[in-house]
Amino acid sequence: MRILVAGGDGFCGWPTALYLSVQGHEVLIVDNFSRRRWDEELGTESLTRISGLDARIARWRELTGREIKTAVGDLAEERFAYEVVAGFRPDALVHFAEQRSAPYSMIDRSHAVFTQVNNVVGTLNLLFAIGEVSPDCHLIKLGTMGEYGTPNIDIEEGYITIEHKGRTDTLPYPKQPGSFYHLSKVHDSHNIMFACRTWGLKATDLNQGVVYNVETGETASDPVLTNRYDYDGIFGTALNRFCAQAANGDQITVYGQGGQTRGFIDIRDTVRCIELAANNPPEPGEFRVFNQFTEQWSVLQLARLVEKVARSLDLEPDLVHLANPRVEKETHYYNAANTRLMDLGLKPHLLDEETVERLLLTAMENRDRIHPETFAPQVDWRRPHYG
């Protein structure tokens, strides 16, 4: 297939592009390098040293003989979005090209507005481009489990069948997003569903959990292909931050009680899920939703796991609790369905001490790149800032 990977220079997009290339697909990466610029804005950097995209592509070609094409531009600009879809005519379009950080979207008004305009407009541009020039293209959109929030009932995969006053219908599962970023994903889902129903497009919304681990077989095969390792308080996941804190001799900081429970997935399973979705497209007019996670962990469980593995490596981190800067339930019911990708053949990697040890060792090897001042919470959900 011809597969366009939007956001193909990023944490999920880069390993996905390499994995799809290995499977024999013709891959086009589209990116505008905004993720790299946000590091500069925030005064941080990937814990691993990452090469420029041109160097990455050249090294991939040298190692495998496979060509990956690139197009540099912003999908929020309608002319670029149209031209790149019209020029490549993809069979599938994998859409990672969005601002993906909840804390970043909550910094102030300008960051919230940017997040929603960038994410929602970029997706709308792609929908119109696909609908006009490539209507058979399968849109594979990375959503988030954060669209659902933490309801006191089981979370289904996209839809829920309800009975109300004697009548029954299957409807989109209620959304309770927790940030302006998560709200942008909800808007995306609604827009994509409408485009499928109205124009006969076909799309898969992958509501992904928190991604852990850093490398896949492809990115780990050569230093030039190394993937990102984000650990700061804005873009880093809690697990990565805990590992960097332990490696740097700092306290492991848990927000609130640590009972917040979410779905998690290994980056190696992320790329496999993309392949499964691409190889098993929906019917025209169908908007389907897969919950893309493999297991559930609470924040405190992750912190204690990192603490245990760190002590086995002769590190001695203290685990402390901080006031939670987010507005979220700290203890809650959480039971989400995730069977549809398993039914397609996903065999998950599960989080274990060996994976955490690799993350810790990588952090220790790159300790000179850690910016400990970025560990502390920098955004207060409760105080709007007109910035």
Query: Which residue's entry shows tokens 């909840």?
Result: 102
- Catalytic choice (181, 212, 231, 334): 181
8 Å CB contact between 265 and 293: yes
Q: For residue 14, give the amino acid letter.
A: W
Query: For this structure, is 198 an active site residue?
Result: no
Q: How far apart are CA 377 and CA 372, in angstroms?
A: 12
DSSP states along 309-333: HHHHTT--PPEEEE---S-S-SS--
* Cα 91 from chain centroid (whole Å): 22
Look-up of token digits 């960097």: 244
229 catalytic residue (yes or no): no
C-beta of residue 3 within 8 angstroms of C-beta of residue 90: yes
**Are 136 and 91 within 8 A, CB to CB?**
yes
The torsion region of residue 13 among left (phi > 0), alpha (psi -120 to 50) and beta comes to alpha
Q: Does the annotation mark 212 as catalytic?
A: no
Selecting among 123, 185, 212, 226, the annotated active-site residue is: 185
Catalytic residue among 144, 261, 270, 355: 144
Collapsed DSSP state (helix, strand, coil) of residue 280: coil
Residues annotated as part of the active site: 144, 181, 185
